Amino acid sequence: MSTAAAYAVSAPDGHFEKLAIERRDLGPNDVLIDVKYAGICHSDIHTARDEWGGARYPCVPGHEIAGLVAAVGSAVTKHAVGDRVGVGCMVDSCGKCEPCLAGEEQYCIPGATMTYNTAVAPELQSNGYTMGGYSTQVVVTEGFVVGIPEGIGLDVAAPLLCAGVTLFSPLRHWNAGPGKKVAIIGMGGLGHVGVKIAAAMGAEVTVLSHSLSKQEDGKRFGAHHYYATSDKQTFRELRGKFDLILNTVSADLPIDDYLRLLALDGTLVILGLPEKPLQVKPFTIAGYRRSLAGSMIGGIAQTQEMLNFCAEHGIGAEIEVISADRIDEAYDRVVASDVRYRFVIDTATM
């Protein structure tokens, strides 16, 4: 076992504090990573504050990890010491079920091992559950470690490991590209990279934000149109318009109002994960043969494809780098939608 510095909360209303945690000795297929940057995803906040239930404490969140390989196990072939690498939301899966065999490990039937808050054997993590990337080091099996191409800084790459692939995956699945009208609801951490990726894919991109305050940024990220959802006229003007709508909002929304913005055969994909059930009128779905769908991150191969795509198109997240002692403040600012557009922790400050 080795020891790493980490930042953890001990209760749903707790504050982040420095903690020494153990990382396992390297197995033959393991990679030890010196974490350089860890993004703050809204899912970290939902978990740390136990908004989804089932949080384990002390809780070390962090699933947008970018760093350098420090050591490799004897059988590792995919990565070498010094490589620039990333780890996203998963650190393992069964490898045998249909989704795993199809490279969709995030839909593993027995359940993927998430980067934090998943029960594991004590030989994998001595406290009995995974602990994430708000830490100086992590040990991850090589198949769940992806390469970060030269040309993207590790700091702006970190958020791509969750936010990037969470948007890239549904954009690819529902064929975003030239001739497709795509709307993105919410321009926060997920939404802003979604705008950049969808625009780079060639789609006509519209942002639906609760105000026009970030309009200039949205246009700079590649959006063609930008509307405020606080204005009722938006819903009249855009009725029946979009082929694909991606909802990244972390709070409850009147989904029927947004479903009505879909064109015939359009799809609205739920990405944001507030805790309350959705309310949808059957008539709204039946009309115009609309689909209401969901999507969860992306598989490992697709995560690599997304990083390569982002490197090729010069896409990184817009970030504010913070020291580890500012995580509490960053959480409050994310919840208040006061983030431009992702906080990233510099682990050198741990």
Report the interface residues with ligand NAP, using CB under 6 A: 41-43, 46, 162, 166, 186-191, 209-210, 248-251, 271-274, 296-297, 334, 337, 339
**DSSP characters over 8-27:** EBSSTT---EEEEEEEPPPP
Alpha carbons 31 and 14: distance in angstroms, whole number? 31
Please report how close the Cβ of residue 6 comes to Zn ion at its closest, in angstroms: 18
The DSSP bridge partners found for residue 129 are 119
161 binds, among ligand NAP, Zn ion, none (CB under 5 to 8 A by kind): none
169 binds, among ligand NAP, Zn ion, none (CB under 5 to 8 A by kind): none
3 state DSSP class of 234: helix
Nearest to 37 by CA among 84, 74, 71: 84
Please report how close the Cβ of residue 286 comes to ligand NAP at its closest, in angstroms: 25
330 binds, among Zn ion, ligand NAP, none (CB under 5 to 8 A by kind): none
Kindly tell me which of 160 and 208 has the beta carbon lying closer to Zn ion: 160
Please report how close the Cβ of residue 87 comes to ligand NAP at its closest, in angstroms: 15
Residue nearest to ligand NAP (CB): 188
137 binds, among Zn ion, ligand NAP, none (CB under 5 to 8 A by kind): none
Please report how close the Cβ of residue 54 comes to ligand NAP at its closest, in angstroms: 14
Kindly tell me which of 22 and 257 has the beta carbon lying closer to ligand NAP: 257
Please report how close the Cβ of residue 64 comes to Zn ion at its closest, in angstroms: 6
Please report how close the Cβ of residue 100 comes to ligand NAP at its closest, in angstroms: 17
Residues 6+ apart with CB under 8 A from 233: none
Q: Are strands 113-114 and 90-92 parallel, antiparallel or unpaired?
A: antiparallel
Please report how close the Cβ of residue 154 comes to ligand NAP at its closest, in angstroms: 19
100 binds, among ligand NAP, Zn ion, none (CB under 5 to 8 A by kind): Zn ion
267 binds, among Zn ion, ligand NAP, none (CB under 5 to 8 A by kind): none
3 state DSSP class of 155: helix
If one counts every other C-beta atom within 10 angstroms of the C-beta of residue 4, the result is: 21
Kindly tell me which of 37 and 137 has the beta carbon lying closer to ligand NAP: 37
311 binds, among Zn ion, ligand NAP, none (CB under 5 to 8 A by kind): none
Phi, psi (deg, nearest 5) at residue 53 = 80, 160
Sign of the alpha-carbon torsion through 145, 305, 197, 230: negative
Sign of the alpha-carbon torsion through 90, 129, 46, 7: negative
Q: Cα separations (Å) of 134 from 14, 53, 164?
A: 16, 21, 19
3 state DSSP class of 280: coil
**Site residues for Zn ion, window 169-228 (CB under 5 A)?**
none
Kind and range of the H or E element at 199? Answer: helix 189-200
Specify whether the CB–CB gap between 63 and 115 falls below 8 A: yes
**Site residues for Zn ion, window 72-111 (CB under 5 A)?**
93-94, 97, 100, 108
Is there binding between residue 41 and Zn ion (CB under 5 A)?
yes
What are the structure tokens assigned to 40, written together?
């703050």
Please report how close the Cβ of residue 26 comes to Zn ion at its closest, in angstroms: 24
Specify whether the CB–CB gap between 6 and 18 falls below 8 A: yes
337 binds, among Zn ion, ligand NAP, none (CB under 5 to 8 A by kind): ligand NAP
Binding-site residue total for Zn ion (CB under 5 A)? 8
Judged by the rule CB under 5 A, the positions of this chain that interact with Zn ion are 41, 43, 93-94, 97, 100, 108, 162
